[in-house]
Chain A
Amino acid sequence: MFKSLEYYKPNIDETVKWYQKMYHDALNHKKGHVSFRALPPSDVDYYEKMDLTIYSFPRDNKKYAEDLCRFLEKSFRLRKEVDDNFIPVITINLGIGDYSAFVNGDIVFQKDTSWSKPSLENLTDYKKFNELGTQMWYQNFLAITEEILKISAPSGIPFSRGFFSPLDLAYALRGDKIFYDFYDHPEELKEFLDYCAEATIKFANDIYQLAKKYLGNSKYGMFYLENIINMSEDTACLISGEQYQEFSAPYTQKVIDHFGLGHMHTHSRSLYLVKEISSLRNVVNLWLPTDPNAPKPIEHAASLAEDANGVHLAIDCESFAQIEENFQDLKKGNYSVTLPVKDIDEAIKFAKKFKEL
């Protein structure tokens, strides 16, 4: 189904080298790298086009894998002329239910997303969970991954998977009660967060091993996996910086330390977290999408560059003019700026224009 990675990304060597140099510099707090990503509708419309409710898992694992790969192949093909920083990557989209159901609980699928309901009535009940690795969704996620890799791996296209941070995972399993635990049972909560860190490490290791089996001999197939862990810090947006340091940072750090480098994600709602997350050891990348009704990172590029201290910030904007207006500030840090565009022609045009800045 897929052609080779080079077909979709003719200058893949150059692009990968750019990222490698930038990550190396990010680790050493060296700044000044700015790149561009165009976001045509075809990059993301498969999220809307794939109806997650039509699959009965695990019976339809193979059908899901084929459908997903078909959509991804089309989106890569359509943008192959766009000379921006995008690297084709295979990612599974099952909503967000799968991000915690690998530990416990089931997934409730909706058309374009999914949920898993909190399952921990009492904080310490996680000790009664089935042994990690035996849950249906743990095993089924690996089975789906394998079906996808069978299709995509011959092309050498990188595979990627993101994870909840330990605090996000704990929140998904415990629900809002976790915020009372901060005060009522802080020590038990910390044990639970450690369990969540261990669970993430085990699950990620198993996924990476599987990916390695299929992509280990490819040139860039493991680009987003080797020595890297990709985690969200969404729940952190609801807590203070001090609470982040106590209830999230040590456990997120534990996972990063296991793998090597941290690729993180949080939201513009909580720009104060940029400093907290960027100060974790070996974080090289922070994806910081703009929330509605919240500050726009591009308008705070200079101060965020200072907070990030070299960590690469992947942000977005609304117009090319915003990039032009803030370009000098963007150069004070390491940035990738994503611009939604109306079609591929516009994507090509702005990618070219960015190179002229």
Chain B
Amino acid sequence: MGGILMILTDISLMLQKGRANEVKKLVQEALDEGIDHNKILNDGLLGGMNVIGRKFKANEIFVPEVLIAARAMNSGMEILKPVLTNKGVKPIGKAMICTVKGDLHDIGKNLVKMMFEGKGIEVIDLGVDIDGDQVIEGIKEHNPDILCLSALLTTTMFSQKEIIEALIEVDIRKEVAIMIGGAPVTKEYAVQIGADSYRPDAASAAEWAADYLKEKYNV
């Protein structure tokens, strides 16, 4: 039991330090020792990312640390994913994310994506400079639970509103929960344009998404 706990703690700690190779090795070692795949995922990898999320939110760590931690998680997931697929373990839900039309900034979007993945959520990334038609096409193709719209500029946050209006027009607005984010965006603006959620940082966004999905699927 102590050995299991130690290896899972090591996975979490190495992930927090961004040590991708070590995480990969430890995940393999954990599997070889017969540790349950769910424990490796939840207590090791996602546990480590939860710590990263909390520290990021508290300004104890910054963007570079989050990026290398997420990279380390992905390297562990490379080993674990085939096992999870074989065992029928599914993500807790699916989100689709993009930076809206007219805006090429993707650091915020990427951070949210990483934090979502750190909560066990599958993320479809549409990229940057995305308009309503592309979002509609994406929803039809991927059927996400949550749609995240990112904007960094005061001039592009209006594209968030346009996308929501486009979804209403083709009658698919109710198929997704919509979260908006980005430096100029506020809670009031989210209410004004009919979004379901606004969160001020990537970690809080992932917390909201995980809670929403747990409630939606009653897990």
Question: CA A110 – CA B156 in complex, angstroms?
Answer: 11
- Per-residue CB contact flags for chain B residues 105-132 toward chain A (1 = under 8 Å, else 0) read 0110010000000000000000000000
Query: Given A240-B62, A243-B62, A292-B183, is A110 in contact with B102 using a C-beta cutoff of 8 Å?
Result: yes
Q: Judge whether B110 and A238 touch: CB under 8 Å.
A: no
Question: CA A252 – CA B166 in complex, angstroms?
Answer: 45
Q: Judge whether A176 and B183 touch: CB under 8 Å.
A: no
Q: Judge whether B110 and A292 touch: CB under 8 Å.
A: no
- Note all chain A residues with C-beta closer than 8 A to B18: 183
Cβ of A345 under 8 Å from chain B: no
Cβ of A212 under 8 Å from chain B: no
Which residue of B has the minimal Cβ distance to A240? B62
Which of A110, A112, A115, A180 meets B71, CB within 8 Å?
A: A180
Q: Is the interface of A mostly helix, strand, loop or mixed?
A: loop
Which residue of A has the minimal Cβ distance to B71? A180
Q: Judge whether A183 and B68 touch: CB under 8 Å.
A: yes
- Per-residue CB contact flags for chain A residues 86-100 toward chain B (1 = under 8 Å, else 0) read 000000000000000
Cβ of A214 under 8 Å from chain B: no
Q: Judge whether A113 and B183 touch: CB under 8 Å.
A: no
Q: Judge whether A112 and B68 touch: CB under 8 Å.
A: no
Cβ of A327 under 8 Å from chain B: no
- Note all chain A residues with C-beta closer than 8 A to B107: 176, 238
- Note all chain A residues with C-beta closer than 8 A to B59: 272
Number of interface residues of B (CB under 8 A): 21
Instruction: Sort chain A's interface into a size bin.
Output: 20 to 34
Question: CA A180 – CA B62 in complex, angstroms?
Answer: 12
Question: CA A293 – CA B186 in complex, angstroms?
Answer: 7
- Per-residue CB contact flags for chain B residues 180-191 toward chain A (1 = under 8 Å, else 0) read 000111100000
Per the 8 Å Cβ criterion, residues 71-125 of B in contact with A are 71, 102, 104, 106-107, 110
Question: CA A292 – CA B156 in complex, angstroms?
Answer: 15
Which residue of B has the minimal Cβ distance to A183? B68
Q: Judge whether B200 and A179 touch: CB under 8 Å.
A: no
Cβ of B6 under 8 Å from chain A: no
- Note all chain A residues with C-beta closer than 8 A to B62: 238-240, 243
21 intermolecular pairs with C-beta atoms under 8 Å apart: A112-B155, A113-B153, A113-B155, A176-B110, A179-B64, A180-B64, A180-B67, A182-B64, A183-B18, A238-B62, A239-B62, A239-B63, A240-B62, A243-B62, A243-B64, A269-B183, A291-B183, A292-B183, A292-B184, A292-B186, A293-B185
Interface, chain A (partner B; CB < 8 A) = 108, 110, 112-113, 115, 117, 176, 179-180, 182-183, 238-240, 243, 269, 272, 291-293
Interface, chain B (partner A; CB < 8 A) = 18, 59, 61-64, 67-68, 71, 102, 104, 106-107, 110, 153, 155, 183-186, 200
